[in-house]
Structure 1
Amino acid sequence: MGRMTYVWPTLQARDARALIRFLVDAFGFVENVVHGEGDRVDHAQLDWPLGGGIMLGSGSGSSTWQLPPGTFGAYVVTDDVDKLHERAAAAGAEILKAPADTDYGSRDFTARDPEGNLWSFGTYPGEPRK
């Protein structure tokens, strides 16, 4: 059995179904499950190919877990920054920072999705657990 993911970043969207399509097409997330009817998304899980993922839903309703749409930010590890940058740009992502090498050994770029959320993609996988 594979390693379980125990931390799931979450976000709310004005148009969750459109954001799901964008995140799949532009960034390469994999749609795992989407619950809801019509335009409303009660819960969606998008998996990241290298592990982990995000959960999201429509930004309205009576949930106690309400984050204003467009206020999310995440750093996502990828193994090919330049290829992902090209894919994101071709799909209409607003590129805020083109791919560049960092002083800590990563190659990163930053984009904004149509909801206003910020996404940084890079090769830095974090430090090993101590």
Structure 2
Amino acid sequence: MTDLQTPPPQVWPTLRANDARALIRFLVDAFGFEETVVYGEGDRVDHAQLSWPAGGGIMLGSAHRGPDDQWALQPGTFGAYVVTDDVEALHKRAVGAGAEITRPPQGTDYGSQEFAARDPEGNLWSFGTYRGEPRTR
């Protein structure tokens, strides 16, 4: 028997932010991520994990952490697709929190209902009902 279920998420997209603490607050307030852990002092975030209620999540930290930074990503260059069951409610929440909507809710030719937004750092987020195709092995 072949298992056609999608396995639990084990890929954690990672980004950097000029103001990581403000971005964390925005992602929690506007999109509904859950703050799982934040390490750092003052304005600096060395590591944060934000969990997505349906599974998986993202990791982020402050940009410009010094010359030995092994993960020096440019803030504002991140993009992600996030699965949600209620696109309309999430869109309303994002608008209410001041998110810049770059594509209003709409259907796709592959059966998903989606919208897209930009966060204050310039990262692009797409939220939709498409869960991907089941694995065949």
Q: Deviations over 1:82-103 (max 9, x none)?
A: 0000000110100000000111
In 2, the alpha carbon distance for the partners of 1:119 and 1:15 equals 18
> Within 5 Å, which residues of 2 pair with 1:117-128?
117-128=123-134
How far apart are 1:60 and its partner, in Å? 1.1
Q: Which has the larger radius of gyration?
A: 2
Of 59, 82, 85, 2:88 maps to 82
Q: How does 1:9-24 map to 2 (within 5 A)?
A: 9-24=13-28
Per the TM alignment, residue 47 of structure 1 is displaced from its structure 2 partner at its CA by: 0.1
The residue number in structure 1 matching 2:119 is 113
Amino acid of the structure 2 residue aligned with 1:122: G
Q: Which runs of 5+ in 1 are unaligned?
A: none
Q: Which runs of 4+ in 1 moved over 4 A?
A: none
Report what 2:106 is aligned to.
Answer: 100
Give RMSD over aligned pairs: 1.0
1:63 match: 69
TM-score, normalised via structure 1 length: 0.96
Aligned residues: 128
Q: Kindly state the Cα deviation for residue 5 of structure 1 after the two structures are TM-superposed.
A: 3.8
More relative contact order in 1 or in 2 (CA 8 Å, sep 6+)?
2
Post-superposition offset of 1:4: 5.6
User: 1:111-130 CA deviation, whole Å, 9 max, x = no partner?
Assistant: 00000000000000000011
Query: For 1:44, what is the secondary structure of its paired residue?
Result: strand
**TM-score scaled by length of structure 2:** 0.91
> Which of 15, 22, 45 is 1:41 aligned to?
45
- Which runs of 5 or more structure 2 residues have no equivalent in the other structure? 1-6
Could you tell me the percent identity over the aligned residues?
Answer: 73
